[in-house]
Amino acid sequence: MRLGTLLLLVVSTLTACPAPAPPSCSEPDGAPCSDASLPDATPGQPRPNEPDDAGHPWPDPARPDGGPSECSSEDAEAWARFRRSPRLTELLARCSVAPLCEGAPCTFPACVRAAARVTGCAACTNAELACISDVCGASCAANTPSENCRWCLCNSGCVNLFEACSRSVDGSCDACTAANESCPPHSLSPAAVLVLTAP
Amino acid sequence: MGRGVPLALCLALGACLADGNPCPPGSLPDADEDRCIPVGLDAGPVPSCSSADIAAWTARHRAPTLVEDVRSCEETSCTVNACDLGGCLAEVAGLVECLDCARAEGLCGMQQCGSACRLGTEGECRRCLCDAGCVGTFETCAGASTGLCDADPDPTPPEDTVALPLLVRRKSLTGFTRSRLFVADAPTVGEERSGYAAAGWTDFVPLTVAGKDYLFEVMDRCSGARCPVRLSPALPDGQLGSVPPWRDRWSRGWDTFSSFAVGPTTFLVAYKSGQRPPIDEARGTGRIVAFRATDSGLEISDHTDEAWPARLRIPPWTHISGFALDAAPFLVFHRSTAPHDTAVASIELDPEGRPTLVHRADLDWPRSWDVLESFPVALDGEVRWLLLGYRRSTGDEAAAMEIRAWTTSDFGTPTTGPALVAEEWPTDLLGVSAFRSGSATYLLRQERSGTAVILRFAPTLAQWIRGEPYEEVARFEWGTRPGWDVVGVARARLWNEP
């Protein structure tokens, strides 16, 4: 290696600015990522939670591989119930405009968790909420029927994000019909929400 | 630069266009093609102007027959192929030696004050010649000051500030301007005022400083490398005042603007996106100008570029919009061209009141927006800042509009929730301007077809959820020949009590 090239490498290593942390792992104190998450890999690679070529979801960045889910079965069940609510889009709108919840700070995700009666599970609910806002923002507009919002959540991978993170499956997407792009709010017994504990 | 340069610059215009030079007259692209750099030209022979000539020329400008002189000279000295307006006016004024300088001003006047000096009043013509730098062109050529532009020759009397929103629109091609006070109870009633400004004004930005309302006017098309900017007061009679409390000349290429307020200080954000060829500073350059009222008038401080972290200088951005969250000011930066990108910065003031931008979050919007505007709406009695995004129709997608609320993530950073309203909007929107009157927020929506619509947002969230987020309160047909491409609402009061 030529001396000039070596010097350039050293200088660029010393002066390189760290890439901004992806939103999924940004911390309020400015730390790039928590222990349980990593920055995005090379641009162009699938992002965490997007299915790979084989259709398997990538591990969630907020949770160590194979580690226990921070979502209890009760939380996963409550979240699934919330997702099936006929007032889903209305509750999302109310929480984004005027978050109401006990304790401070009452953020948009905290308000939604309160509305869903979920006590923990922040990382997994945040993953689905970010997906709702970014990918299904128009389909889940306040003036849109909740079944159309659910269609988007089921078909854009938002539900998968939560399920992969919480290691649970529920039937939110079972009743979806492509004809009218909607997922009716069918009743589902709590037992149908299966929380997977094995890695 | 030597004498006679402005005329040479005008002559260079044709050469530039013939060469396909993307830069404004008098400038050439920089090697990195990110900006235009003014170039000096051979000035040629030095014109001579006697003090008698300068006095005669000055007197002609102050004469009550200025517009009449221009009209009659146009009839006698202009043919299909050529127009020696300056030469004719020099003859009317009785100039002996100073013909080149008069012709240089005449050329500038024809390009930028054609409407003001043919159809306007003497005052409008004089103001136009000063604003557009035509008198300055003569003075540079003659090597002497006329004093014509030192103070406004026809100042409007000082009046109280306007009590209603003032809708102002202008054709940048001609400078023709119309304005109308907005009366909430009768938005389509009321006199519309007309006037003539210089051609080349390209942007309006509403600013309120210490309870007084202004339009910040930007000219980005003039004969030089630096064009005028000014703060024009909005007057109760529905016009813009002719005595700006502040004016300056900025390099060309500032094309993206927003504003915000912190306490008694109002800040103007200006940015060079590169959509207009930038001169001097490269695209991606930003500045924040602070306006603060003092006992002696306005105190203005300019913080060019120093406040911009690297993340916010590049990609460059096409849109910047200010909003407040929990009473703190933020700016959202959006790039609508591929690859699209969105970032949010908070605004921190140091102990001296200098603003600094702090990158706070990146927003992962799947699509880009052609129009982006933040504005406050009182919903159920609480003021909430919303974000409107509009995307023009593409081959397979209809034109779409979404409004979302600014809210806070679990990490304390600004974000937006799902849309409060998402619907199809007219195919080809030019832009929107939000303003407040009473407790309501309104949106002036301008379409390329020449139609302008005023919408009033619903005051309760229940109405938004029912699918009734706004109602149309007025509709105007403004026409399109040529289009009204500079639109603003003075007294928009987005950052102050309406």
| pLDDT level of residue A20 (50, 70, 90 thresholds) | very low
Question: Torsion angle, CA of B401/B404/B409/B413, rounded to 10 degrees?
Answer: 80
The verdict on a CB contact (< 8 Å) between A93 and B382 is no
Between A186 and A127, the more confident residue is A127
Question: Which chain B residues touch A130 with a CB distance below 8 Å?
Answer: 364
Residue B405 and residue A94: Cα distance in Å, rounded?
A: 10
Domain extents for chain B?
5-142, 166-490
pLDDT tens digits, one per residue of B32-64: 556 666 654 444 445 578 999 999 999 999 999
Instruction: Show the DSSP H helices in B78-165 as ranges.
Output: 85-93, 99-112, 114-119, 122-131, 134-142
pLDDT tens digits, one per residue of B118-165: 999 999 999 999 988 899 999 999 998 999 988 665 556 666 778 899
pLDDT value of residue A16:
35
Lowest mean pLDDT among A39-53, B124-138, B141-155, B423-437: A39-53
Lowest mean pLDDT among B36-40, B383-387, B462-466: B36-40
Does residue B366 belong to the interface with chain A, where contact is any CB pair within 8 Å? yes
ipTM: 0.82
Residue B230 and residue B246: Cα distance in Å, rounded?
A: 6
Residue A141 and residue A132: Cα distance in Å, rounded?
A: 10
Structural contact between residues A26 and A18, judged by C-beta atoms closer than 8 angstroms: no
Question: Which chain B residues touch A109 with a CB distance below 8 Å?
Answer: 409-410
| pLDDT level of residue A178 (50, 70, 90 thresholds) | confident
Structural contact between residues B437 and B449, judged by C-beta atoms closer than 8 angstroms: no
The verdict on a CB contact (< 8 Å) between A141 and B422 is yes
What's chain A's average pLDDT?
A: 69
Q: Which of residues 382-401 of B touch A (CB under 8 A)?
A: 382, 384, 400
Does residue B365 belong to the interface with chain A, where contact is any CB pair within 8 Å? yes
Residues 6+ apart with CB under 8 A from A186: A84, A171, A174, A175
Does residue B312 belong to the interface with chain A, where contact is any CB pair within 8 Å? no
CATH class of the B166-490 domain in this structure = mainly beta
Question: Which chain A residues touch B387 with a CB distance below 8 Å?
Answer: none
**Average pLDDT estimate for A58-74:** 55
Cα of A64 to nearest chain B Cα, Å = 20
Structural contact between residues B318 and B332, judged by C-beta atoms closer than 8 angstroms: no
Between B303 and A21, the more confident residue is B303
Indicate if the pLDDT at residue A22 is higher than 50: no
If you count residue pairs, one on A and one on B, with CB atoms under 8 Å apart, how many are there? Answer: 122
Structural contact between residues B343 and B414, judged by C-beta atoms closer than 8 angstroms: no
- Which residues of A make CB contacts under 8 Å with B? 17, 20, 22-23, 26-28, 89-90, 92-99, 105, 107-110, 122, 126, 130, 132-144, 149
pLDDT value of residue A2:
46
Structural contact between residues B236 and B213, judged by C-beta atoms closer than 8 angstroms: no
Does residue B467 belong to the interface with chain A, where contact is any CB pair within 8 Å? yes
**What secondary structure does DSSP assign to B267-328, as a single string?**
EEEEE--SSS--BSSPTT-EEEEEEEEETTEEEEEEEESTT--HHHHSS--SEEEEEEETTE
Q: Write out the E strands in B156-278.
A: 166-170, 176-181, 192-196, 201-209, 212-219, 226-233, 246-251, 256-262, 265-271
The verdict on a CB contact (< 8 Å) between A141 and B420 is yes
Question: Torsion angle, CA of B378/B381/B384/B389, rounded to 10 degrees?
Answer: -40
Lowest mean pLDDT among A62-71, B47-56, B330-339: A62-71
Indicate if the pLDDT at residue B78 is higher than 90: no
